[in-house]
């Protein structure tokens, strides 16, 4: 989870989030290079005295400074498309979790198992344990096995919500009347926190998501 003064992305807990961070760093590096170059050129313009009375057109330089940025943009567009299609790939999921957004809590259904469904509410600040995280902990956590492909089905019962876990690189809108699908693979155990990220009403800030990533046998023990 995010802690004090953490301005960067959270540590990844899934291969897809790792790729997203790589892409972020790659795009940022290109952005910094462009900003520095353009900033330097603009700054230097203030101090030059060169004047060319006969300058009307320069076909060559126009060609260069049109095509060069287009090529640079390709270096962002192609990795971006690769990532887009990787995120969409569903690879034989071993567990499916259905999460339904309500005003203002999430409810979950483990469709592979009989009668496993529960609501998950935020723990109010005055009921928080000493080791709890304010505005982030819930009364019933989602337990999911690590090192397994997990499919998430997201929908909503009233207004649009969004099921978002930064450490896993997951962000799916829950829309009434629609069923959205995504997947992830958790490569380490731990607690992964998320929040609703679609402005869904007065208590939008108070419907967090907590995933407990555990070894497979612990998950089987929990589910039975």
Interface residues toward ligand CUA, by CB under 6 A? 101, 161, 196, 198-200, 204, 207
First-to-final CA distance of the chain: 28
Return the number of the residue (58 or 176) whose C-beta is nearest ligand CUA: 176
CB of 16 to ligand CUA, least distance (A): 23
Return the number of the residue (101 or 145) whose C-beta is nearest ligand CUA: 101
CB of 45 to ligand CUA, least distance (A): 47
CB of 156 to ligand CUA, least distance (A): 8
CB of 224 to ligand CUA, least distance (A): 31
User: CA quadruple 126, 130, 133, 139: dihedral positive or negative?
Assistant: negative
Return the number of the residue (38 or 199) whose C-beta is nearest ligand CUA: 199
Return the number of the residue (121 or 185) whose C-beta is nearest ligand CUA: 121
CB of 102 to ligand CUA, least distance (A): 8
Return the number of the residue (151 or 161) whose C-beta is nearest ligand CUA: 161
Q: Residue 99's Cα: distance from chain center in Å?
A: 17
């Amino acid at each position: 989870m995010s802690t004090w003064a953490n301005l960067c992305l959270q540590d990844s807990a899934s291969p897809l989030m790792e790729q997203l961070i790589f892409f972020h760093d790659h795009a940022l590096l290109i952005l910094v290079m462009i900003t520095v170059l353009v900033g330097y050129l603009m700054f230097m313009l203030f101090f030059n005295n060169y004047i060319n009375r006969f300058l009307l057109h320069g076909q060559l330089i126009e060609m260069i400074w049109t095509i060069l940025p287009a090529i640079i943009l390709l270096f962002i567009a192609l990795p971006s498309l690769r990532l887009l299609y990787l995120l969409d790939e569903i690879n034989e999921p071993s567990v499916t979790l259905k999460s339904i957004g309500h005003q203002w809590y999430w409810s979950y259904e483990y469709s592979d198992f009989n009668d496993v469904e529960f609501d998950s509410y935020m723990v109010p600040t005055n009921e928080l344990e000493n080791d709890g995280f304010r505005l982030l902990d819930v009364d019933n956590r989602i337990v999911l096995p690590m090192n397994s492909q997990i499919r998430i089905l997201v929908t909503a019962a009233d207004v649009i919500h969004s099921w978002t876990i930064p450490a896993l690189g997951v962000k799916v809108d829950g829309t009434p009347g629609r069923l959205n699908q995504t997947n992830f693979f958790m490569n380490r155990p731990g607690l992964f926190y998320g929040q609703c990220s679609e402005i869904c009403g007065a208590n939008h800030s108070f419907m967090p998501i907590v995933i407990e990533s555990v070894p497979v046998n612990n998950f089987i023990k929990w589910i039975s």
